[in-house]
Homo-oligomer: A and B are copies of this chain.
């Protein structure tokens, strides 16, 4: 379990740097454009990742350790980032994500989790019983889910420009497969 945790922390540490490398300095035509309607832009996704670090993962980990299954997790607002990101630049959000992520990983390490802690259960308001190990694994998988989404949103902006190659580019046929954690 500790080995798994090390790998998961290694993934979680890399996400702000990876998004910084992918996005910083690109024009708004790529970073502030979405896939139509109420879908998210890469800017929105970075805002959501910050908000989830603040309001979802570590708060829920502490919730499990404090309340177990006796109380469900407080609900997480998938649009909670909207107010927080207003008036900010993408560069500001990327800086903020780097800081918040480092801080939250320090919090995780400082819990000094023992083998038996990983098996402790909490209660998700919709999904039911889930362990602390599953919550922490989902934190990393959720990052990957959103890297997957950001690459898809940016590829969407190229759907006309690639002409006949659209057919061969799987990313342009991806619809996101539903909601997020």
Contact = CB atoms under 8 A, between A and B. Distances in A.
Interface of A: 4, 7, 10-11, 14, 17-18, 20-23, 25-27, 29-30, 124, 127-131, 133-134, 137-138, 140-142, 144-145, 147-149, 151-152, 154-155, 158, 161-165, 167-174, 176-181
20 contacts: A11-B26, A11-B154, A21-B21, A124-B164, A127-B164, A133-B161, A134-B161, A134-B162, A134-B163, A134-B165, A140-B158, A141-B158, A142-B165, A145-B151, A148-B148, A148-B151, A148-B152, A168-B180, A170-B178, A174-B177
A179 B168 contact: yes
A80 B2 CA distance: 38
A170 B173 CA distance: 14
Given A10-B25, A173-B177, A177-B173, A155 B163 contact: no
Contact of A154 (B124, B144, B170): B144
Given A141-B158, A141-B172, A148-B174, 11 more contacts: A4-B161, A14-B21, A18-B21, A21-B21, A129-B164, A134-B162, A137-B163, A147-B151, A165-B181, A168-B181, A174-B174
A8 to B, nearest CB: 8
B162 A137 contact: yes
Nearest to A129: B164
Give the one of A10, A130, A134, A158 with max B CB within 10 A.
A158
Contacts of A161: 4, 133-134, 137, 141
B173 A134 contact: no
A163 B21 contact: no
